[in-house]
Amino acid sequence: MKPTSYTFQTDSTLNAEYIQYQTQGFCVVDEEVLSHSEMTRLANGTYRVMAGNYTLDHPPKFSNYQPENFQSFQQVKGLHLCDEDILSILHEDKLVRRIASILGANSLRILETAIFIKPGFGDPNGEIPWHRDGDYMKYIVEGMAHIWIPLEPINAINGTLQYLPGTHLQHRRIPQPLPISEQDSIHEEYYRMMEKLEESDRVEMVPVDIPWGGFSMHHGDTIHGSGPNYAPTTRHAFAFTVVTEDLKVDPQGFDGVQLGHLHDLDDPIICPKIL
């Protein structure tokens, strides 16, 4: 990855975040990057879209959200196309430059946005099995990252993200997780993967705590998942995918849906440039 002119090269905190992302495949920014008012705007914009109200007069790309459903994991995609506050927050300079510093990037474009809605009270339907995001975007070889902003402070109680560090590196011999539909639970699948390895190659699950206004980000090949939400309330996490100037695509990885994504990259509305 080429160096940039950003301050991460001399600032110890940002340099540590850059190194963590490169070596571990994820980074957690556990401070208020987005202010209280900015987080409120992001949350309110998200809830508007969930309710079917679009300030940009454009519907989501996908939605299986049902307000009366408190027992299923639900999601809505393409929120930046629907709401002007969401789009504005994604251009927020402090957020954009922090992401760019961690990635060592000079250019960022939005590829996708989504809200993930996890049911509470420990419902097993809220568990997200181990997976690599890159497995769902096989046409992207490199130059992609995923950012995760919880709309409530998040921890192990309400179903935070868990990472398997270093699994984005090709030399790691971590077995591929079973398909999501075949995994019994996040813990059982973890032990299945680890038991196939020599002890020196095993990695620990790393759950992350993220405060309101902070975020986590991970590489497309980093294995991650999340357990049930044991809190008595639904958990919401806003996520978005960015691509950098290092984007490389593999034509052999395309199917019909992903071919549409390739065309979207040239559309400044669907995939807006934020840096």
**Kind and range of the H or E element at 238?**
strand 235-249
pLDDT in tens, 179-198: 999 999 999 999 999 998 88
Residue 133 tokens read as 């995001």
- Across the range 217-243, mean pLDDT stands at 95
**Kind and range of the H or E element at 29?**
strand 26-29
pLDDT in tens, 97-140: 999 999 999 999 999 999 999 999 999 888 999 999 988 887 88
Task: Tell me what pLDDT residue 2 has.
Answer: 38
- The residue whose two tokens read 């939005």 is 110
Task: Tell me what pLDDT residue 206 has.
Answer: 96
- Across the range 44-64, mean pLDDT stands at 95
Please state the domain count of the chain. 1
Domain assignment present for residue 6? The answer is: no
Report the distance separating Cα 34 and Cα 93, nearest Å: 10
Per-residue pLDDT for 229 more than 50? yes
Domain assignment present for residue 133? The answer is: yes
Task: Tell me what pLDDT residue 6 has.
Answer: 35
Domain assignment present for residue 44? The answer is: yes
Write out 143-174 in H/E/C secondary structure.
Answer: EEEEEEEECCCECCCCCCEEECCCCCCCCCCC
Domain assignment present for residue 122? The answer is: yes
What pTM was computed for the model?
Answer: 0.90
Q: Which residue has the higher pLDDT, 174 or 272?
A: 272
Q: Are 203 and 165 in contact (CB under 8 A)?
A: yes
| Domain that includes residue 162, residue range | 13-264
Q: Are 274 and 109 in contact (CB under 8 A)?
A: yes
Close Cβ partners of 105 (under 8 Å, ≥ 6 residues apart): 4, 99, 244, 245, 246, 275
Domain assignment present for residue 7? The answer is: no
pLDDT in tens, 232-253: 999 999 999 999 999 988 877 6
- Across the range 68-86, mean pLDDT stands at 95
CATH code at position 158 = 2.60.120.620
Domain assignment present for residue 8? The answer is: no
Domain assignment present for residue 160? The answer is: yes
